[in-house]
Amino acid sequence: MKFAIALYSPAHAPSSRRALLFAQAALAGGHEIVRLFFYQDGVHSASSNVVTPQDELDVPAQWRDFVTQHQLDGVVCIAAGLRRGVLNTQEAERYSRPAANLAEPWDLSGLGQLHDAVQAADRLICFGGP
């Protein structure tokens, strides 16, 4: 089965960890992940500026390692990212911001990427949200 996974909740929310566990289980079960799409507050899971307390799981680092290890397509919504200060180098320069906080393996792109993923997947699984 091919999955597209959308994450709407911030890195410290339980649903972010659940999404990661689901994605890990899906790959371990022989399924495919077409795309991971981070939207709304989910964009914070891709920010390199999130600092996790020592007694908690560093879910953003786990997401980064997971995407890198499995060479997955990890997309951060550009509109949601800009609104929340999650910028890659190009956008930081465009908007004259002092620094970028979105690096590899993440891609900054639009909602069209979510639409394309839904078209290519058998199932869209969403975590978090209103």
CA distances to 5, 6, 65 from 128, rounded to whole Å, are 11, 9, 21
CA distances to 45, 57, 59, 108 from 40, rounded to whole Å, are 11, 21, 17, 13
Which of 6, 72, 77, 78 is catalytic? The answer is 77
Beta bridge pairs of residue 33? 3
77 is catalytic: yes
CA distances to 44, 50, 75, 116 from 112, rounded to whole Å, are 20, 26, 11, 6
Catalogue the active-site residues: 77
